[in-house]
Structure 1
Amino acid sequence: MIPRHEIPRTARARAFVSFAAGAGGRLLHLAALLTGETPGSTPYARRLLTAALSRTYADWDALRGDDPYDRTRQDLVARYARAAWHRRLGAARRAQDPGPLGPLTPHQRVAVVLRVYEGVPEEQAAALLGLPVERVRALTARATVRLAGPGGAPGAPEPAR
């Protein structure tokens, strides 16, 4: 029998496990698009997702009606953007990246993934990235042109429906 003081904790854990089981696959795909790793081998994407899910679990009780998917996605994107900035993922990294979004800079990659794959409005993407709406619009436009041009992405992500 579960002690009375443990019941809320187990209900919380069950709710989170249910969320993670339902959204984990899509979130991992999102992380893989951001990191540029191939679907079969995603160690960096998995580390980012694990950290983002850990933060979501820690804040689970404080969500109070907020969408846990949005919260996890925000944390995941912020962690990727912060790491990309600190590691200065430049031309050498993009040249090594065989993924469909390989030719993009980290900011362009985040903008395209949020706007095209996830269907996030420009205003929300701008707020998430801490950039003006016009900058997000420009990043998305440049990335789209770069992907559609010669040598673009044959397997680029499909738009959100």
Structure 2
Amino acid sequence: MRAVDQRTGPYMEFEGFVAGAAGRLLHVAILLTGEPEAARRLLAGALARTYANWQRVRGDDPYDFTRQELCAAFARTGRRHHRGTGVLARLSPLERLVLVLRIYEGVAEEVTAAQLGLPPERVRVLCNRAVAELR
């Protein structure tokens, strides 16, 4: 029986994606959680879901898919597990999420709203409130 060589095809594509995007995605996770270990766990889960869906997402934008998975996981657990440290700790988890998507990642207001299941006006208010809080 021959061993499966994972260094071919889709596996190599995924590995290349991780090599190129993991640093930026980890930074997003750290901004959200404020805790490097929690950020690593959050990112590992998002990358695992990306890999599980690789055949479908590799033709699209795997970075966007992974970021959405990362943000969805944070939104599900943000209030319970991610207290955060640093300057963003003053913000609620939802304000942090909106601020990171809108300001750091440059995601359009309408796209952010759709991803979070919020009206665009609510995203605008949350972003403005977060920016004012940080001033």
Q: TM-score, normalised by structure 1?
A: 0.77
Show the 5 A alignment for 1:110-125: 110-125=97-112
Structure in which a larger fraction of residues adopt helix? 2
For 2:20 and 2:78, the matched residues in 1 are separated by 28
Q: Paired residue for 1:73?
A: 67
Gapped regions of structure 2 (runs ≥ 5)? none
Alignment partner of 2:25 out of 24, 27, 40? 27
Q: Which structure exhibits the higher relative contact order, with contacts defined as CA atoms closer than 8 Å and separated by 6 or more residues? A: 2
Where do 1:36-75 residues align within 5 Å? 36-37=34-35, 42-63=36-57, 65-75=59-69
Deviation string, structure 1 residues 43-87 (Cα, Å, up to 9, x no partner): 1100000000000001000125210000000000000010024x2
Q: RMSD between aligned alpha carbons?
A: 2.0
Partner residue, 1:17 = 15
How far apart, in 2, do the equivalents of 1:123 and 1:114 lie? 11
Residues 125 and 104 from structure 1, CA distance in 2 versus in 1: closer, same or farther, beyond 3 angstroms? Answer: same
Q: Which runs of 5+ in 1 are unaligned?
A: 149-161
Structure whose alpha-carbon radius of gyration is higher: 1
* CA contact 2:6–2:12 (8 Å) conserved in 1: no
* Runs of 4+ deviating beyond 3 Å: 6-9
TM-score, L = length of structure 2: 0.91
Q: CA deviation at 1:139?
A: 0.1
